[in-house]
Amino acid sequence: MTKKNYQQLSETERHAIALGLQQKQSLSAIARALGRDKSTISRECNRNAGGKGYASKFAQQRSDNRKRQARPSPKLHRQGPLFPLVCDYLRHKWSPQQIANELQRLHPQDRRLQASHESIYTCIYAQPRGELKKELVSCLRMAHAKRWPRSRGKDRRKETQDLLSIHVRAPEIEDRQLPGHWEGDLIKGKANASAIGTLVERTTRLVVLVKLPHPNPATAAHVLQAFSDKLKTIAQPMRQTLTYDRGSEMAEHRQLSENTGMKVYFCDPYSPWQRGSNENTNGLLRQYFPKGTDLSGYSQEQLDAVADELNGRPRMTLGWRKPIEVYAEHLARLAQQPDLVH
């Protein structure tokens, strides 16, 4: 019998599978009789069998239940007002959880314009195959591979000298009680030939991206100039300290301190968790700059646009507020109470 193009098993086919199993037929024989792949029959038996084996009525019931659960919420039908709104958030790299909380914040009294993050996920995966589904799925964040220490490969660059250890930072910096304390790093492009500087304010999670020269973006001289120029655009009350790893690109840290008025602290070797905000942000940035991308072609204006988009996303760690909002509040408070600046 000619095999069918794939479609879901019918109730009649499930009855035939149950009968074949009762008659001790092999899965291959059942598949041939139904014109199906053996893998389809095997998957059906594994997914829909009950405690007493495969029964067609029970299997059909389980299949129907899954179909009902997979249907998107009526509020998220393509013709409804909520669907294009959710799609727009997804295209701006918001997660379903961020979208759900933002909708609840914006429309607290109108449940028609709210949706749970589970409903949003269901809506995405329930779309028929096509360009829209492909686009929406691509907007979701993917799991990040473990980030290996930077020194995993050969590194013959000189070691950074005269370091101020993270362990002498003031407790209020460690506890994120006061704003103005930043974490920094680089994300590397294809073959480590290009890079972008990343800065994250510890209290508000505000992100600043730094364009680095090309070629040789990670030299100490290039990083000094680019970081100095960008940091000096930040209001002085919010420019207190910078915590960095021990990469040799920060060899000119004393000059950076002189240029910006910021103390520079250094993490212990191979301890990326000591810059947790920055590590997390670097993961988010891979949505915009996938590994293997040539980063040299991005202008500072394009990097600023990416940072603005990230800073406009609500964060769970901020009680679903946006970094830009929290940053502005802290900056206004510091302007009124300059004695809070350490």
Is pLDDT at 289 greater than 80 in this prediction?
Answer: yes
Residue environment code for 203-224, b if the CB has 16+ CB neighbours within 10 A, otherwise e? bbbbbbbbbbbeeebbbbebbb
Structure tokens at 191: 């073959």
- What is the rounded average pLDDT for all residues in the chain? 85
Q: Express each pLDDT in 101-129 by its tens digit.
A: 999 999 999 888 888 888 888 888 777 77
- Residue 147: pLDDT band with limits 50, 70, 90: very low
**CA 71, 72, 74, 76: dihedral to nearest 10 degrees?**
-160
State the CB neighbour count (10 A cutoff) for residue 297. 10
Share of the chain above pLDDT 70, in %: 88
Closest CA to 169 of 180, 158, 157, 185: 180
Residue 28, phi-psi category: left (phi > 0), alpha (psi -120 to 50), beta (remainder): alpha
Q: Using DSSP, state whether 34 is helix, strand or coil.
A: helix
- Higher-confidence position of 299 and 274: 299
Q: Give the pLDDT of residue 283.
A: 87
Structure tokens at 146: 């473990």
Q: Express each pLDDT in 123-140 by its tens digit.
A: 887 777 778 878 787 877
| SS3 annotation, 221-270 | HHHHHHHHHHHCCCCHHHCCEEEECCCHHHCCHHHHHHHHCCEEEECCCC
Q: Give the pLDDT of residue 153.
A: 41
Structure tokens at 251: 């060899």
Q: Give the pLDDT of residue 138.
A: 80
Q: Express each pLDDT in 238-249 by its tens digit.
A: 999 999 999 899
Structure tokens at 7: 């479609």
| SS3 annotation, 151-171 | HHCCCCCCCCCCCCEHHHCCH
Cα gap 317→297, rounded to integer Å = 33
